[in-house]
């Protein structure tokens, strides 16, 4: 994402201007390339952002890389160098490896489902003539709810393990026995809880994205398609989806990153007071990192985990960017 963008920046700035003239908008002729006042203004406007990102991204990552090479138990001070011990321990830890597997499973499941449902909702809402605003609000408003509040409703009310839980009650009407939704591992019923919760919270957001994309499709293309007799599913595949390509790529990317960072609902659904989440049927990498650094106070191992995860996400982002040409069409 990084390289293409800076390329385009420079290309667009070079374009149409003699190399000798200073860059920037028209008035540049009256100014020297970068006088003190220009520098001052630039520095003043960008300094807070640059310093902030510098400290909380670059310094943080650098420091924690050093920490990941240290034995840092109950301290965040550097000192006891242990080489790659933390990485060795991390990669041989079954819990960490299985958390990677689980999050991958979660991602390959939640991303397409969210994609299809939010696209479907957008197409549906786009067809609604009367009361569209009301319907759109109804689908969008769950976005206002936090994962904590949603976890509460899902855990204590909808998927409560007792016969009084809504899912069990509805099941009871059809003669099904009550089941503990979150604790049943065979079959893994907890996925139903996790997926429905995330769907409810997220689809409204992506629906709005698709709606914006749909409304940007020129009327003529639509009409031309109608003349050609393209309708229904064929039209969706041939016309609508290709026109939504940019939106789709953006949605997939956002969903992937969001899914990979899942923590809130896993923590709140499975953690129970003093006992933490050690016996939860599914742990995400972030839950693992939380337990390692906040629970066991092993900040060296936690830093190593953060580093491995960051590297994974950067790699996937770069590959996805290369494959889809994402970020190239920006200006």
Partner 1 sequence: MTTLFKRLRPGARGLLVGVLTVLFLTPFYLMLRNALMDTKGLTSPEWTWWPAQMHWENFTALFSDPTLHMGQALGNSLLIAGITAPLSTLLASAAGYAFARIPVPGRGALLALVIATLMIPGSVTFVPTFVVVGSMGGVNTLWGVIVPGLFNPFAVLLFRNFYLQFPAEIEEAGRLDGLGWLGLYRRIALPSSGAMLASLGALAFIDSWNAFLWPLVIGQDPSSWTAQIALSTFLTSQTINLPGLFAGAVVTIAPLVAMFLIAQRYIVEGIATTGLKG
Partner 2 sequence: MSAHRPQLSRRGFLGGSLLFVAGAAVGCSTSPTGGDSSGAKTTLNVWSHAYGEAGTQQALTRYAEAFTKANPDIAVKVTWTPGDYGAKLNSALLTDGAPDVFEIGDFSQAMARRGQLAALDDVYGSAKSDFSQGNLDYMTVDGKLYGVKMIDDVMMLYYRKSALAKAGINPPTTFDELAAAAKALTTKNTKGLFVGNDGLGDTPALAVLSNGGDLVTNGKVVFDSPQAAEAVAALKRLADDQSLLLGFTTDWWDPSALIQNVVPMQWCGLWAMPAIKTALGDDFGVLPWPAFKAGGSPVLRVGGWTACVNAKGKHVDAAKKFVQWLWVDQTDLQKDWSESYGFHVPPRASVAAAADKLAQGAAKETVELAAKYGKHNPNTWDSEVSTPFSAAAKKIVSGQGDAAQLLSDAAKQAQTALDKQHT
Residues that bind partner 2 (CB under 8 A): 71, 73-76, 80, 89, 93-95, 156, 160-163, 177-178, 180-186, 271-276, 278-281, 290-291, 294-298
**Residue 190: exposed, middle, or buried by beta-carbon count in 10 A (0-12, 13-18, 19+)?**
buried
Distances (CA, A) of 73 to 210, 214, 265, 294: 47, 53, 28, 11
If one counts every other C-beta atom within 10 angstroms of the C-beta of residue 268, the result is 18
Which distant-in-sequence residues (6+ apart) come within 8 Å of 256 by Cβ?
107, 111, 316, 320
Q: Of 143 and 184, which has the nearer Cβ to partner 2?
A: 184
Segment contacting partner 1 by CB under 8 A, of 5-13, 89-97, 107-115, 179-187:
5-13
Question: What does 213 bind: partner 2, partner 1, none (CB cut-off 5 to 8 Å by kind)?
Answer: partner 1
Residues 267-326 that bind partner 1 (CB under 8 A): 267-268, 271-274, 285-286, 289-290, 293-294, 299, 302-303, 305-306, 309-310, 313-314, 317-318
Q: Does 183 bind partner 1 (CB under 8 A)?
A: no
Other residues' Cβ atoms within 10 Å of the Cβ of residue 23: 12
Please tell me whether residue 241 binds partner 1 under the rule CB under 8 A: no
The answer to whether residues 304 and 86 touch, using CB atoms and an 8 Å cutoff, is yes
Q: Which is nearer to partner 1, 186 or 278 (CB)?
A: 278
- Interface with partner 1, residue 104, by CB under 8 A: no
Q: Report CA Rg, the chain.
A: 25
**Rounded-to-integer distance, Cα 319 and Cα 235, Å:** 30
Identify which of residues 35 and 186 has a Cβ nearer to partner 1 in the complex.
35
Given the complex with partner 1, which of 53 and 108 has the nearer CB atom? 53
Q: List Cα–Cα distances, 216 to 211, 221, 244, 246, 247, in angstroms.
A: 9, 11, 9, 11, 11
Beta bridge partners of 315: none
Q: Given the rule CB under 8 A, which of 85-93, 97-105, 107-115, 138-146 is the region that contacts partner 1? A: 138-146
Tell me which of partner 1, partner 2, none is bound by residue 291, counting a contact when its beta carbon lies within the kind-specific cut-off of 5 to 8 angstroms. partner 2
SS3 at position 178? coil
Backbone angles phi, psi at 80, to 5 degrees: -80, 95
Query: Which residue number, 17 or 97, has a Cβ lying nearer to partner 2?
Result: 97
Decide if residue 82 touches partner 1 (CB under 8 A): no
Select from partner 2, partner 1, none the partner in contact with residue 320, using the beta carbon and a kind-dependent cut-off of 5 to 8 Å: none
Q: CA-CA distance, 22 to 28, in Å (whole number)?
A: 6
* 192 sits near partner 1 (criterion: CB under 8 A): no
């Amino acid at each position: 994402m990084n390289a293409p963008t800076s390329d385009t920046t420079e290309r667009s700035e070079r374009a149409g201007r003699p190399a000798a003239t200073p860059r920037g908008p028209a008035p540049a002729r009256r100014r020297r390339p970068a006088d003190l006042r220009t520098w001052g203004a630039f520095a003043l406007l960008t300094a807070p952002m640059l310093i902030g990102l510098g400290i909380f991204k670059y310094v943080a990552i650098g420091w924690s890389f050093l920490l990941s090479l240290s034995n840092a138990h109950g301290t965040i001070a550097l000192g006891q160098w242990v080489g790659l011990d933390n990485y060795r321990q991390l990669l041989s830890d079954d819990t960490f490896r299985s958390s990677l597997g689980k999050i991958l499973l979660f991602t390959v499941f939640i991303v397409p489902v969210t994609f299809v449902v939010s696209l479907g909702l957008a197409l549906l809402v786009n067809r609604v003539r009367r009361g569209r605003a009301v319907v759109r609000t109804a689908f969008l408003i769950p976005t206002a709810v936090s994962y904590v509040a949603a976890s509460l409703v899902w855990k204590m009310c909808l998927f409560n393990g007792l016969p009084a839980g809504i899912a069990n009650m509805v099941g009871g009407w059809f003669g099904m026995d009550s089941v503990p939704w979150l604790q049943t591992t065979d079959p893994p019923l907890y996925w139903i809880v996790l997926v429905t919760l995330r769907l409810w919270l997220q689809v409204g957001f992506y629906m709005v994205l698709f709606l914006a994309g749909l409304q940007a499709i020129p009327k003529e293309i639509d009409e031309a398609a109608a003349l050609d007799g393209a309708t229904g599913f064929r039209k969706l595949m041939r016309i609508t989806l290709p026109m939504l390509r940019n939106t789709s790529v953006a949605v997939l990317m956002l969903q992937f990153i969001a899914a990979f960072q899942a923590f809130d609902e896993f923590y709140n659904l499975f953690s129970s007071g003093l006992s933490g989440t050690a016996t939860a049927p599914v742990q995400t990498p972030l839950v693992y990192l939380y337990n390692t650094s906040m629970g066991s106070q092993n900040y060296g191992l936690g830093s190593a985990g953060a580093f491995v995860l960051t590297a994974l996400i950067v790699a996937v982002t770069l590959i996805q960017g290369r494959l889809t040409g994402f970020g190239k069409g920006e200006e």
